[in-house]
Structure 1
Amino acid sequence: MAQYEADVVVVGAGSAGCVLAARLSENADLRVLLLEAGETDRNVWIHVPGGISRTVGNPRLDWCMKTEPVTGLNGRCMPYPRGKLLGGSGSLNGMQYIRGNPRDYDRWRDLGNVGWGWSDVVPYFRRSEANVRGADELHGDSGPLAVSDMERGELADALLHAAAQAGYPLIADFNGPSQEGASYYQMMIRRGRRACGAGAYLRPAMRRANLQVLTSAQATRVLFEGRRATGVQFRRGAEILTANARREVVIAGGAFHSPHLLQLSGIGPAPLLDRHGISVVTDLTGVGANLQDHVQVRVLCRCTQPVTINDVLNSPLRLAGEVARYLLFRTGILAYGPFRTGLFACSSASPGWPDLQVQFGPVGFSAVTEPPLKYSSFTMSVCLLRPSSRGRVEIGSPDPFALPKIQPDFLSTEDDRRLMIEAFKLGRRLLAQPALAAYVAEEVLPGPGCMSDAQILEHVRETGSTVHHPVGTCRMGADELSVVDARLRVRGIGGLRVVDGAIMPELVSGNVNAPIVMIAEKASDLMREDLRA
C-alpha cells in the first residue's frame, strides 16, 4: 500500500480546508498534505459569478446529494448541492458575504465555548477580509478574501424602496453595527471573478514546497493507534493509499462528509456503528446529530417591464451584449450572483435579533436547480434564520463510497411552521408596497388563491427548499452531545480535529461561508499554539 507522510493531514479542500492548509503551511517547518475527493477548479464557469447554473448539478463538480423523505415537506426528497472540487461549496455558492449576528457568537460562547464570543471572532473575520470599502473596527482590507459592492439595478433598488415604505431602515452594511434592515449585499467577488477559499487562499500557497495537494483523493477512514489518530486511508484512481500524520489529522469535509467519515472510522453513536458492523473506537452520540439549515420558500412574480435577467437571457442580442460587457469590463449580469438585495427582519418572537431573511433576485426560476424561466419574472425568497428543527446525518452502509443519509427534518417544530408563515407574509407585504407593486404583473407562485395560514403552510411544504447552509453535525461544546471541544479537538481522541461548519453549535443568522472561513482562520491559530506546545 503506497504511503504519503506529513505533519498535518487535512481531509477536504472546501472553504475551511483551503484556509487551514494555506495558513498552516506558512510555517516552512510544517509539512501539510491536503486531500480533496473532487477535481481542480479550472472549469471556467466556476469563476464567473453568473455561471452558477452551469456548475450546480454538474456531477463533476457537485456531489449531487439528496435528502431522505422529509415529513415536514410532504415527504419530498430534496436535492442538496455540495461542492466536489477545490474550494468545495464555496466554489458553487451565491457569494454573499454575510457573517451573521454578533449575538449568534455570544450565544456560542454562552453554550460553553470559551473564546468564540463576538469579540473573540471579529479579529478573524477582519484578518480574512479584503473589503473594497477599506478597514475599520469591523472590517479588514488586507486579507486574502475579496469582498466587493454590487452594481445597482432597477428592480434591486425597488426592493429597498419597498422595504422603506414598509417601515424598515435602509442600512449600508449587513455586517455593520446593526443587521436589521434592507441593503445591497456585499459579495465575495474580485473584479468580476468569484473569490473563494481555493483562489484566495490555496492557489497562492500551492507554490510552497511544504504543502502538497492531492485531488481525486477520497478519504475512506481515519487510522488509529489506540485512541490517537495517526493518518488517513484514501482512494485515488484504482489505488488505496495511506497518508501518515506525524502530528494531527484534521477533517474538513463539511456538515455531511465530516460526520460520515467519523462514523466510517468508528467514531459515532455505538448502536449505529454496530448496526453496520463498524468497530467502535469512541461512542460519541453527537456525531451526525444536530443538523441545522435554513429552509426557504419563494414567491414568483411575472414582471410588468423587461428589466429582469430572464429578459436578457431570452434575447440573443441583449445576451451577446452582456457577454461582451463581461469579457471587456468584468461587469454586467455575469459579474454578480442571483440575489443582489435583501432584508433582515425581526419576527414577533425575536425583537432586536433578526430571525427572518428576505432575498430578492431580478430573475425567475421554477426551482433553484432549474434554469431561468422563459418570461420576464423575478423571485422573492424568504427564510427562517434560526430554526428550532434539528436533523441528522448517518452512514447508510459501511461502504465509504456510498453517500450519507441526510434527514434535515425541516419544519418539525410548531415554532418553525408558525415563523415560516410569518416570513411568507413579510415577503408578500413587501411586494404590495408601491415601489414593488408597480413591477408585479401577476403572482405566479403560489398565486392569489393561497391566502389562509393553512394554504401558506401547504405552499411551504410543497415548494420549500434548503438555502444550502447545513451546519452543526459535529458540534462544539462541553456537554455529552458535543463532538469537539472549544479547540476543535474530537472528544476522547488524540491528534484529531474537525474544522468546518459542522462544528457550529447553532446556525448563524445569515449565510455561512464567511463564518466557515473565520472558523478555519481561528483554528489555524489554535493548532499552531498546540503544535508549538
Structure 2
Amino acid sequence: MRSAIWVSLLAAVVSAADEPEYETYDYIVVGSGPGGGPLAANLARAGYSTLLVEAGDDHGSLSVYNELSNFNVAGNDERSRWDFFVKHSDDPERELKYERLTAATLGGCAMHNAGVCSLPSADEWNWIAEITGDATWESDNMRKYLIQTEKNLYMPEGSEGHGWMSISTSDSSWAASGDWPANSILAELAELTDQDPEQVADLVNKDILTPGEDHLSSFYNMAQHGDARGRRSSPNNYIKATLADEANYPLTLALNTLVTKVLFDEDAETPTAIGTTTRFYARREVIVSGGAFNSPQILKLSGIGPAAELEEFDIPVVVDLPGVGENLGDNYEGSVVALGQAPTGGSRITGFWPGFPDDYGANQYSCAMVHTNPKSQAGSVRLVSADPQDAPDVNFRFFEHEGDQDLLELVEAANLLRESWQVAGDEVLPYDEMHPCPGTSAGNCTIAEQADMIKHQAYSHHATSTCAIGADDDVNAVLDSKFRVRGVKNLRATEEIVADAVKADEASEPKPKCKRHIK
C-alpha cells in the first residue's frame, strides 16, 4: 500500500481558554470522496473551520482522471486504487471457479467511476424514514438535496438545479436516424419490455433524474456527472473551488494522510472523543467517510465494533457495536457477452480486476445486467489484524439467502437480452456467445447451466450498508438517522450514502443526496 503519514484523529469539545497547541478545527472529515469531500466543502462554506483528510494525493489535473472516457484507465491506475480484493462466498472451491482471482485520491471513487447518475426509488427513502421515525428522509424532502447539488446542463435555461456538480446526458440522436444493428436491437428490446418500438428515439431521451418516473421498465438517457465535452465533474473540483474561493472559506486539506483511529475518553459516562498526542483536534465532531470498506475498518480500529472481533486483535473495546462491518450488500452484476460477424459497438465488461477489461476487438458486444434488489445481504468487512495498513477481509457472500430466485431472475434477464440480439441482421449474425452460454446457438444452455455460470462469475462495484442506519432498538444499527455513531459522542460516519448537500443552517446534520458508484 502507498506510503502515508499515520495520524490518530480526535473529536473533542475544546474551550478557547484551554485550547492546546495542536491544530484545532470545528470539524474533521476523513475521506474526500462523494460522501466526505462535498460535505467538508459545505461545512467550510457555512463558516465552520474544517480539516479534510485524504489518504491519497491530488490527481485531478491528469487527463486520465478528468476525462470520463478514461474511466477504465483511471480504475487501473496504481496511484489511486486501494487493491481491496474481495471474496464472493465462504466456499474455497467456489472461489477458485471465479475467473478473476488475481482507491485513494482527492475526490475518491468519483475520480475513476463511469460517472453514471441515478436516484433511489421513493420507497427506499421512505423506508429509512419509517424505520428511524425521521420524516426528513421522506422522498419528497430528499429531492431538494439533489437540486442543491446538481448543475444540470441539459434542462431548459431557468430550470431548477443550481449546485456545483455538472450533470449532462449523452448524444442519443443515433436512435432516431441511425441504421445500425443497435437500432434494431433497441426496437426489439422495447417490444420485449412492453414499450412502443416506434417511440424508442423519445424513450432514450427520458430524464432518469425526474421524480415520480417508473424506473422499473423503461429506457432513459444516461446522465453522467460531467460536462458536454466529457470532462469529469467531481468532489475534486468542488473541494479545490472552495479552497480557491475569494471568500477564503476555512477549509484545510491534508493529503497523503492515512487515518488510523479515533481516540476516546473511556472514563466518561458515554465514551467521548477527547484528544491525542498528535496534532489534530476537533471542537465539534469527527466525520468518518471512508467508504463501505474503510469506514468500518476505521471504526473497528478505534474500538467500535463487535467485541469478540476486536478482542481477537487486542483492540480495547470502546463500544460493542455488532453491526459495524456487517450487513454488506451489493447489486449483482453480470453480462451477456458475444462476438459478432461484424462490428456492433460496445465493449466487454465482466468485472473489475487489475488490467480490466478484456478487449476482443471491434466485433465484441455486451449488455450488462444489474440486479438492483438482491434478496441476500449477508456480507461483511472484518479485520485481519490491528495494522491499519492491512486490507480487511471483504466477503460479499453472494446468493447466500434466496439465491436461487435471484439467479433465476438474472437468467431471465440474460434470455431477454439474447433474444433481442437475434434481430441484429445477417451482417452481424450469428453471435458467438462467450458468457453465460458459450456457443452460436441461442438458448443452447439450460437455465441451470446459465445460473451456475452467473453464480460463479457475478461481480459488483456498489458496496453498501456496512455502517447501517437503523432504528433505536435494532442491535445491528450502527448509525442513527443523523449519521451519529451509536454509543459515543462527537462522531459520525458515512459509507455508501452520499452526504454532500448541507445547508448552512444544517451544517451539523448532514443529509444524503443519492447513491454513488464505486469500483
Alignment TM-score, normalising by the size of structure 2: 0.80
Counterpart pick for 1:36 among 54, 74, 92: 54
Summarize the Cα distance change of 1:395–1:526 in structure 2 as closer, same or farther, 3 Å threshold: farther
SS in 1 for 2:488: coil
Superposition deviation, residue 283 in structure 1: 0.6
Summarize the Cα distance change of 1:386–1:379 in structure 2 as closer, same or farther, 3 Å threshold: same
CA–CA distance in 2 between the matches of 1:216 and 1:472?
Answer: 26
* Alignment coverage as a number of residue pairs: 450
Counterpart pick for 1:55 among 74, 83, 89: 74
- Partner letter of residue 150 of structure 1? S
2:154 maps to 1:133:
yes
SS in 2 for 1:14: coil
Superposition deviation, residue 75 in structure 1: 1.6
Q: Quick check: 1:36–1:85 contact (8 Å CA) kept in 2?
A: yes
Matches within 5 A, 1:297-446: 297-308=334-345, 362-364=346-348, 367-368=351-352, 369-389=356-376, 390-414=378-402, 416-433=403-420, 436-438=423-425, 439-442=428-431, 443-446=433-436
SS in 2 for 1:422: helix
What's the % identity of the aligned pairs?
24
Superposition deviation, residue 158 in structure 1: 4.5
Match of 1:173 in 2: 207
Superposition deviation, residue 417 in structure 1: 3.0
Decide which moves more: 98-107 or 67-76.
Answer: 67-76
Superposition deviation, residue 124 in structure 1: 0.5
Q: Quick check: 1:67–1:79 contact (8 Å CA) kept in 2?
A: no
Unaligned runs of 5+ in 2: 1-6, 8-20, 175-179, 511-519
Q: Quick check: 2:26–2:282 contact (8 Å CA) kept in 1?
A: yes
Deviations 1:415-436 (A, max 9, x none): x332333223223323323775
Deviations 1:180-227 (A, max 9, x none): 312221111113234343244212111235101111100001022231
Superposition deviation, residue 140 in structure 1: 3.9
SS in 2 for 1:364: coil
- Partner letter of residue 148 of structure 2? R
CA–CA distance in 2 between the matches of 1:278 and 1:135?
Answer: 56
2:200 maps to 1:161:
no
Superposition deviation, residue 56 in structure 1: 1.3
- Partner letter of residue 451 of structure 2? L
2:312 maps to 1:275:
yes
Match of 2:447 in 1: 453
SS in 2 for 1:161: helix
Matches within 5 A, 1:251-270: 251-270=288-307
Q: Quick check: 2:307–2:322 contact (8 Å CA) kept in 1?
A: yes
- Partner letter of residue 279 of structure 1? P
- Partner letter of residue 381 of structure 2? V
SS in 2 for 1:75: helix
Q: Quick check: 2:263–2:273 contact (8 Å CA) kept in 1?
A: yes
Matches within 5 A, 1:22-171: 22-28=41-47, 30-41=48-59, 42-68=61-87, 70-71=89-90, 74-76=94-96, 83-114=103-134, 115-134=136-155, 140-152=160-172, 153=174, 154=180, 157-169=183-195, 171=203
Q: CA RMSD in A?
A: 2.8
- Larger Rg computed on CA atoms: 2
CA–CA distance in 1 between the matches of 2:63 and 2:484?
Answer: 37
Q: Quick check: 2:184–2:424 contact (8 Å CA) kept in 1?
A: no
Match of 1:494 in 2: 489
Deviations 1:63-88 (A, max 9, x none): 1111136247922579799x310111
Superposition deviation, residue 520 in structure 1: 2.8
SS in 2 for 1:133: coil
CA–CA distance in 1 between the matches of 2:100 and 2:350?
Answer: 14
**Which one has the bigger strand percentage?**
1
CA–CA distance in 2 between the matches of 1:500 and 1:366?
Answer: 25
Summarize the Cα distance change of 1:90–1:373 in structure 2 as closer, same or farther, 3 Å threshold: same
Match of 1:337 in 2: none
- Partner letter of residue 435 of structure 2? L
Match of 2:260 in 1: 220
SS in 1 for 2:260: strand
Decide which moves more: 440-449 or 107-116.
Answer: 440-449
- Partner letter of residue 301 of structure 2? L
CA–CA distance in 2 between the matches of 1:98 and 1:420?
Answer: 24
Alignment TM-score, normalising by the size of structure 1: 0.78
Summarize the Cα distance change of 1:209–1:104 in structure 2 as closer, same or farther, 3 Å threshold: closer
